[in-house]
Structure 1
Amino acid sequence: MRTPEFEEFDPASDCDCPGCALWRRVLPFSRSRTVGHPAVHRVLAVAAASAASAAFGAVAAAPAHAAPHGPARPGVPAGDEPGTPQGGKAPLHGPGRGQTGTPGGLKTSRTTRTEIINRAKKWIDAKVPYSMLAYWSDGYRQDCSGFVSMAWNLPGNEWTGSLDQFGERVTKEKVQPGDILLFHNAKDPQKGSHVVIFGGWTDHTHTYYTVYEQTPPHTRRQGTPYAYWSHSDQYVAYRHKGLAPEPAATKPAGSGGKLITAGGRAAAGVTPYPGAAYFGPGANNRYVAQLGRILVSRGAAAYYATGPGPRWSDADRRATEAFQRAQGWTGAAVDGRPGPRTWALLATGAGRDIAAGAGPSGPPAGIPAYPGRGMFRPGADNAHVARLGRELVKKGFGKYLATGPGSRWGEPDRRAVEAFQRAQGWRGGAANGYPGPETWRRIFS
């Protein structure tokens, strides 16, 4: 998997009239497109929203004008805080056969973290369109709660008001890939309620993480501030009650490099060891990024200043070495390169995690820790903006900063960052003028 991963989103309509806003939020992916100004069809949209609420038997009826998931923020790239209305509890649906099965209950099946993430990735790869009315081929509703119900392998479609029954609360310090972050607005379920899957920390500060979520326009994976863009103080982390340990894996002779479970079968969902040639100085591939993400989830976050990436770095070497030492290995076994044995332990969740406090106290010299996207929003005023501006001037991208770098983020700063991003060969949504972890790393490298 490539890291960093850039995604482009179709911009939302510029019209802010109530009819257009309602049309975008309630029926963003209706299969029956209409012609002309969406406001003309507002009666149809309201009726459809009411009918959907009744059909799904929602615990709390959705208001006609479902509010967007977060407050409007001018200048923020489209797709950061979309509206996420959802349906209620409902049984699974079969393609072309209407409803099948029984409504979701409290029964939970055993599953592993790897299985949860792999199921989530299937929707991401398929770019499943967001809809509170439609069901995907696996029977799950195509909204945020349906996505989590699918990833957690629940017997039916749940909603944000019931998902907590299938999990147990965990603290931020203990949250791990496969857990969920849930916000349910009991007073107005359609206003802000949302649920996402935690995919692992992106840097040692634990301020950003990889999120898997179902949200307009389709299922996505991206870096998100903890716990989420809006209502962040109200998101609660939950762990699946039926979570099972990852299968122990070994690599016997003749296995062809595949990871093998104790029963002699290839471990489901586990990436086979790609070979030593994929790691080390000069390597730049998805396996390096995958290694970094796993190491972060196993306690090596302190070794990464800006988050794991596809290019092999000294941070990857030191993090791998720390994991090897955590297994009690010494001598030549601690070489900082992932061999078949190291990869098997990391990929299956086996072995010992890196002890807390075992990492370095800060990022590599010369590269300050990435402060998070929230420091570079319109109207932001902080020392990070000024620091970024000074570095852009040094790199030759200061022509937009006519009065010199300052601490208040504005359009000149955004244009300077955009120019730097385009100089890296990035286009589209990758060159939006907002510094993410990879942009930050390259500016200060």
Structure 2
Amino acid sequence: METPVFEEFDPASDCDCPGCARVRRFPTPSALPGPAARTAARKALAIGAAAAAALVALPPVPAVAAAHAPARPGDPPGDEPDTPQGGEAPLHGPAGGPAKPGTGAVAPATTRAAIINRAKKWITAQVPYSMSAYWSDGYRQDCSGYVSMAWDLPGNEWTGSLDTFGVRISRDQLEPGDILLFHNPADPQNGSHVVLFGGWTDYTHTYYIAYEQTRPNTRRQATPYAYWSNSARYVPYRHKGLADGTGGAQPTVPGTKTPYPGRTAFGPGANNAYVTQLGRLLVARGGRRFYTSGPGPRWTNADRRATQAFQLAQGWKGAGADGLPGPLTWSYLVEGKGKDIPPAAGTASTAGTASTASTAGAAGAVSTAGTARTARAAGKASTASTAGAAGKASTASTAGAPGRASTAGAVSAVSAVRAVSVTSAASAAPPAVVPGFPGRGTFLPGSHDAYVTLLGRQLVKRGFGAFYTTGPGPDWGESDRRAVEAFQRAQGWRGGAADGFPGPETWRRLFS
């Protein structure tokens, strides 16, 4: 008999089968350091050869090897593997038995914060994956049991029943606490999976934070939308019982009473149907002048300015008029309450033709009319008419035969018009409009934004430019912070109110 040839094989370090677990616990001789490894290897070879010779006389027996553990659901390198899961079941108590029966597709009231906080508990505990074991809170330790726990459902659901507790939404509507569900009805044990949506990782909305129960234990990681594989088969759902009023709300025709979608639906980087609806509502309430195009689904400065104009029209100030719609602003718009956006100051009709003044006064008083008044009679042209009783003065009068004009009267008329124009301009000057506050995140270390430049220039204009050696520019720096702090202290603020970072009230006072 030929001496058997041995080939050493190091299995994957993360395999969960019993054989691989034993190898990790009792390493092979080749894994030992130094001369001990060579001695142990020789002994193992001798023992193996002797064992092989002894087995020659025995009848052949089929070899049975322990199967390697299946790949984890969602592993990036390969296709999504089978994800075995339990079926519908009640919660389990400490003794492992049912604690109470399920109550059907009744979604109890909850909030997004509560959903994410419950999900984090299993992340912290690193709950091991199992489709038959139950954690101390009574929920099964598989993907659907994890979501049942996070959604605070009355029992353990599975991928075939979780949709009855939610409302289907679109990708653009996804917010933390929603789920992405893939159920394979033809073969539920082949690929079916569910993850909890934790929020987009950046503005591109191509990756998101996924909370999921998978081998070996609960994890939270950035995941490509909708999943590593079978991406097109995942469907987003929203909990029916969200207490903040956004449980499955769909964008509808502007003017209908759509529930407030939450602050995350608006602001820089937002791109969804709610932004379009907001813009249309604002246009209907007098905000057309703020939009050169649209409104559309992508949040722009036009949306912020129009929102702020509506808020100011209601008499709100400070944080209540920051240009970002809160629940009150939204309710006023969708329910048609409050005041419309007034027209821009200085848009009263003015004549672009030759302007003359019609004056009438007593004891030298002058009354002005802002439009030109012409009268033609018998070929005579009157450019400025005056009327006066006893003690009244005529400021301009020109009369003549056709083609003739009184020079002295013309000079007097021009002087009167010029004085009237100055008086009218002074009285009609529109009040300064405070630009909408862009948010605290615009003024942080590393920020690069046109609003930083606008802030710096206004600080210089208000006499706080001594801190700038160059600029101001779009990059937020220590010069900006010190100038803002000096302005805040000039308002009599101290402590956290004078930290050098502009808030809504600092912004309002600076530009007022």
What TM-score bracket applies, with the shorter chain setting the length? 0.3 to 0.5
Which has more radius of gyration?
A: 2
Relative to the length of structure 1, the TM-score reads 0.44
Relative to the length of structure 2, the TM-score reads 0.39
